Amino acid sequence: MTEYTPDSFKILLGKLIKTPECFTPEDLKLALHHLFTPNATLPAQIGAFLAALHIGKVERRPESLAAAAEVLRARALQAAIEDGDTDFVVDIVGTGGDGHNTFNVSTTAAVVAAGAGARVIKHGSRASTSSSGSADLLQALDCSFTAPSSSGTPFPIPKVPFTFILAPHYHPALAMIAPYRKSLPFRTLFNVLGPLINPARPRGMVLGVADRELGPTFAQSLRDGGVERALVVCGAEGLDEISCAGDTYGWQLEDGKITEIKLHPDLFGLSIHTLSSVAGGTPTENAGTFRALLNSGNDIPESLIPVLHFVLLNASALLVVAGLASDFKEGVALATNSITSGRAWDALVAFRTASREALKESNGSQNGRA
């Protein structure tokens, strides 16, 4: 059995700092095992390690992202996905950090795509760089999140169209280094790993990055991690979503091949809207917008059209990745029907009901052990 100590980590740290070009994915895996083992590193070593990864741009290599994701998935608590082997599970998520503070479009698009027939298991957290994260919005919509059993027993994920997995519940290893990450003045490797470590192991993904240079990197990392179909996107404004304001750079993964494309609302049959017209607010405010949008039927208020189009762009892309739409215009039609028919709202209600029942069961089993 490998022994992890500050002295053995010091050797890895020296290699990273002196010859970052020679720091291999296997070196990174070994270093991460040190980080996630109690007392195997010193605080100063952790800070130096995260800084060296950042300065040497080792964290931007696709093979580094794939290696780090492999370690974190192996250390994550397991999720028992009902029919997970047979369903084409998909996710839509952004890396965050774009600074635009837009409406919770990926979460809303996920629910809309679920209403159109996709099996969506979204992996997310609370806000770190915006006013309202995916978990904040869902909590404001009265949804609950249940942590897996402390015994390590996988918590069942029911077969409902939309499900949400709260990242901190499944990745205890990340909690060990959270204080060090928060004390640093830059986003670390772990800030962008979230989209790659969904415990549901989705077969299809729409993934937004805030830095165009990271697009090919993430597309390759998704392929290396076993994702079958994906679309990595970066709005021309540095937006980690498909932009409603103009061009979006894209990297399409299909059949093991990555193709660079450019997206525009015109391709979806939709109008252009400024990012200021789709600005987000507090979780309560965004929940109000969500409710209004998904409960308006065919009478969507004019004031919500920019948000509607923003959501349709991203939901359409997810439906294409899920194999339910042959092109983006068909995806828009399916997503529009999901909203106007009420099926998108039904998908949210089904998750809310299932999440509350799961929380009751979890609290009951804990009380029974007390």
Q: Give yes or no: residues 47 and 177 share one domain.
A: no
**Same-domain pairing of 26 and 161:** no
| Residue 261 domain-assigned (yes or no) | yes
Number of domains in the chain: 2
In a domain, 75, yes or no: no
Give just the sign of the alpha carbon dihedral 96, 333, 328, 267: negative
- Contact between residue 65 and residue 193 where contact means Cβ atoms under 8 Å apart: yes
pLDDT tens, position by position, 226-237: 999 999 999 999
Taking each helix axis as running N to C, give the angle between helix 214-224 and helix 62-75, from 0 to 180 degrees, rounded to the nearest 10. 50
Whether 357 is covered by a domain: the verdict is no
Same domain, 180 and 325: yes
pLDDT tens per residue across span 24-76 = 999 999 999 999 999 999 999 999 999 999 999 999 898 999 899 999 988 88
- Tell me, yes or no, whether 271 and 309 share the same domain: yes
DSSP 80-103: EETTTTTS-EEEEEE----S--B-
Query: Which of 293, 282, 279, 226 lies closest to 253 in space, CA to CA?
Result: 226
For residue 205, being part of any structural domain is answered with yes
- Domain assignment present for residue 43? The answer is yes
The residue range of the domain holding 31 is 6-60
Taking all residues of the chain, what is their mean pLDDT, rounded to a whole number? 92
SS3 state of residue 132: coil
Residue 225: pLDDT band (50, 70, 90) is confident
Domain membership flag for residue 68:
no
Within a domain: residue 328? yes
Q: Does 281 share its domain with 316?
A: yes
What is the pTM assigned to this prediction?
Answer: 0.91
Amino acid 301: pLDDT: 95
* One domain, residues 140 and 92: yes
Torsion of CA 191, 252, 112, 351, to 10 degrees: -50
Whether 34 and 141 map to the same domain: the answer is no
**Do 51 and 108 share a domain, yes or no?**
no
pLDDT value of position 370: 46
Same domain, 190 and 51: no
**Range 112-143 burial, b when 16+ CB lie within 10 A, else e:** bbbbbebbbbbbbbbbeebbbbbbbbbbbbeb
Rg (CA), the chain: 20
Residues whose CB is less than 8 angstroms from the CB of residue 288 and which lie 6 or more positions away in sequence, other chains included: none
CA–CA separation, 364 and 370 (whole Å): 10
Contact 231, 320 (CB under 8 A): yes
